[in-house]
Every structure is written in C-alpha cells, then in structure tokens.
Amino acid sequence: MATVDDPIDAYWTDSEPARVSGHEYRRARRTPVTWVRGGGLATLLFLLPMLFVFGAFSWYPIVRTVIMSVQHTNLVSPATWVGLDNFRAVLHDPLLPKAVENTAEFAGLALIFGYPVPLVAAVLMSEARRFRGVYSALAYLPVVIPPVVAVLLWKTFYDASPTGVFNTILGWVHLGPYPWLQSQQTALPSLVLESTWANAGGTVIIYLAALTGVNRELYEAASVDGASLWRKVWHITIPQLRGVLLLTMILQIIGTAQVFLEPYLFTSGGPANATLTVLLLIFDYAFGNSLGGDYGQATALSLMLAAFLAVFSLAYLRATRSWSAK
C-alpha cells in the first residue's frame, strides 16, 4: 500500500485510501465533473473529428475488407458466407503468378533505375552554387502535374509510329522506331521510366532536406584531404543519409508493390497481360465484369498483399535495424 503526502498525489494513485497524520484522505474518485474539469471533455471534442475520419475512412473499410473476403457479394444482392473459398480461388488463378512476376519486375526495375536517380539529382543540386531553387522546382514539377495528364503526355511520347516523339528523336541518331507500349518486352520498362520521372521529384526534395543536416565540416575536411566528389558522396553523404535512404527504399518498395495507375492508364494490363500487376488484378476481380464484380476475391487478394507487405516491412526493419542505428 502506497502512502501519499499530498492530496494531489492521492488523486493520481490507484492505491487504497491512506491515513496520514490522523487525516483521512479518501481517494479522489473520477466523476463526470472531475473528468470535465480535468479537460477530458475538451480532449474528446478535439478527438472526435479525427476518430470519425479514421473510423469511417480507414478502420471501417479495413474491417469491411476482412468480412468481404469471406463472403460472396456483388454489393447489391445479399452477401453469402463462403469461408476461405475466395482465397483458394485467388491462389488457383492462373493470372496470379503473372501479376506477381510483373509486380516484382516493376519493383525491381524501379529499385535499380528509379531509386538512385533522386539521390544523384539531389547531390548534384546540393553542389550547385547558383539556381539551386530553380533546379529543385524543375525536379518537383512532374509531381504537381496531375497523373492522368502526365500519362496522356507520355502516351504521345510513346507513340509507336515513326512519327512518335521518342521515335522521332531516336530516328535522328538512326535508332528505332521502337514499339514502346505495344510490345510485351518493352511495355513494363516503359512504365517504369514514366513512373521514375513522375515520382522522383518528391524523393529529391526529401534528400535535399536531409543533405542540409550533413555537417559541412566533414566535406571541408575531405576537400582538404583532396577527396573527389565521388569519394565524398561514398564516404560522407551516403553514410550520413543512411537512415533516410533506408526509409525511402522501403517506402518505394511498398509503393511499387501497389503500382496501379501506370498499368491501368497506359496499357490496361496489356499487351497480353505483360503489364498486369497485383493491384490491377484486384481491380479486375472487382470491376472487370460489367455484371458486377467479385468483391470477395478482390478483398481476399488485397488482404494477402497487405499481409505480405507487413511481413516484408517487419523483416526489412529488423534486418536493417543495426545499420540504420549506427
């Protein structure tokens, strides 16, 4: 049993009422009045809008997703319980391996080509002595262009005829014409290229902000030692940014694993499923049939993807914990 010397302390303790110096302090009980006076009502009022927003738009859909994954429903007729049938149907779908393969290829290509681009751009920009703001603005410009507009723009670039923008430019050096989106081999890399252009700007800004936190004295000391730009990047910049680099990498992997916009708007998953991704397959389950989709299968695959990403993220964080903490 704890003893208290002050009534205020007694208010906060869960101990039994104590006798001190002959006075009996009864434990201050939480009553609605004390709760309101303590600011509880105000806290709740401030909290309510957020609780409502999260509840309605995040938690409720998640709960509904779990429920729908074990139902057969077209959202109009009454739903029927089907247990794990939706999961079995998804796992037996011959298109699933193709969608997983394409998604992995997209993520891999984006990691190999798209991941270093913002870092290189940020380092070069930070080295610039003039017009740094202009370079940042130019790098960020694609991010503010509406994605649909960007895709329409790039569709004209990717026109497979000899008069297409890219083919015309390549024609000047006697290359092409290339089929770009019209070939099963080049369609996916073409999507990665546009996606890198469209999304790199945001990461560049993150790196530029992180670079301001790197101690300039380290670069000055390296310069005194005669280090080249490359050695400074390799031995100072990258180690100093490792925390940010690890974070942007996992965010990029999660983002590319859920790629939908580019394959949907550019190719609808074609040609011949060459750009069918997991998210596009989910979309097809839900909306591919005009008579009403299979929302059960769509939500089942969504849950499988979410579970995979959660496990992958945990493993990634565990594997990189020691490095990022250095």
Partner 1 sequence: MKSTRMTALLAVIVTSLLAVFASSVSSAATAKTVTISVASLIPGSTPAAIAQFNAQVAEFQKANPSIKIKPVEYQWTGPTFAAKLAAGTLPTVFEVPFTDARTLGDNGQLADITTEVTNLPYFSKYNKAVLAEGTTAKGKIVALPKGAYAQALHYNRKLFVAAGLDPNKPPTTWAQLAADAKQIAQATGKTGYAEMAKDDNTAGWIFTTVVYSLGGRMEVGRGTSAQATLNNPKAVTALNMLKKMRWTDNSMGSNFDYSWGDINQSFAAGNIGMYISGSDVYTNLVSASNIDPSIYGLGTIPLAKNKTAGVLGGGTEVGVRPDANAAARAAAVKWIDFFYERPLVNKAQAIRNAQTLVASKQPVGVPALPLFNKKQYDLANTWIKPYINVPLAQMKPFNTNIFNQQLVPEPAASTQSVYHSLDAAVEAVLTDKNANIQQLLDAANSTAQGLISQGK
Task: Read off the DSSP letter of residue 79.
Answer: P
Closer Cβ to partner 1, 161 or 215, answer by number: 161
CB of 85: closest distance to partner 1 in angstroms? 11
What lies within 8 Å, CB to CB, of 240 at 6+ separation is: 213, 214, 215, 218
- CA gap 228, 271 in Å, rounded: 47
- CA gap 62, 186 in Å, rounded: 36
| 232-to-125, 219, 239 alpha-carbon distances in Å | 15, 7, 10
CA 133 from centre of chain: 26
CB of 65: closest distance to partner 1 in angstroms? 14
Locate 225 and state its tokens. Answer: 């030692």
CB of 114: closest distance to partner 1 in angstroms? 24
CB of 179: closest distance to partner 1 in angstroms? 7
CB of 88: closest distance to partner 1 in angstroms? 13
CB of 289: closest distance to partner 1 in angstroms? 6
Asked if 296 contacts 69 with a C-beta cutoff of 8 angstroms, the reply is: yes
- 186 phi and psi angles, rounded to 5 deg: -100, -10
Closer Cβ to partner 1, 121 or 286, answer by number: 286
CB of 98: closest distance to partner 1 in angstroms? 10
CB of 4: closest distance to partner 1 in angstroms? 59
Closer Cβ to partner 1, 207 or 262, answer by number: 262
Closer Cβ to partner 1, 8 or 291, answer by number: 291
Give the Cα-Cα-Cα angle 74, 75, 79 (nearest 5 degrees): 75
Residues that bind partner 1 (CB under 8 A): 74-77, 94, 159-161, 177, 179, 181-184, 267-274, 283, 286-295
Locate 237 and state its tokens. Answer: 């910049």
Closer Cβ to partner 1, 244 or 279, answer by number: 279
Closer Cβ to partner 1, 126 or 267, answer by number: 267
Q: What is the DSSP string of 94-107?
A: THHHHHHHHHHHHH
Nearest Cα to Cα of residue 267 among 197, 163, 192, 199: 192
Closer Cβ to partner 1, 119 or 281, answer by number: 281
Nearest Cα to Cα of residue 223 among 235, 234, 232: 232
Neighbours of 76 (CB within 10 A): 6
Closer Cβ to partner 1, 171 or 202, answer by number: 171
Closer Cβ to partner 1, 68 or 245, answer by number: 68
- Assign 219 to helix, strand or coil: helix
Asked if 101 contacts 315 with a C-beta cutoff of 8 angstroms, the reply is: no
| 209-to-119, 151, 214 alpha-carbon distances in Å | 12, 29, 10
CB of 269: closest distance to partner 1 in angstroms? 5
